[in-house]
Chains A and B, each alone.
Chain A
Amino acid sequence: MIKPLKNFTGLVAPLDRPNVDTDQIIPKQFLKAVVRSGLAKGLFYDWRNQPDSQFVLNQPRFEKATILVARANFGCGSSREHAVWALADFGFKAVIAPSFADIFKNNCLKNGILTIILKPAETDAIFEAIKVHQDYRLAVDLPAQKVTDEFGWSAHFEIDPFPKRCLLEGLDDIALTLMQDEKIKAHESNHPVPYKF
Chain B
Amino acid sequence: MKQVIAIIRDERVEATKEALEAAGIRGVTFLYVTGRGQQKGKVNSQEMGESLTRHLRMQLGAVSPDNEPDAGTRVALLPFQPDTEFAFGFLPKRMLIMVLNDEDVNLIVRTIVNVNQTGRHGDGRIFICPMIGAIRVRTGEQGDKALS
Do A and B make up one complex?
no
Residues of A within 8 A of B (CB): none
Residues of B within 8 A of A (CB): none
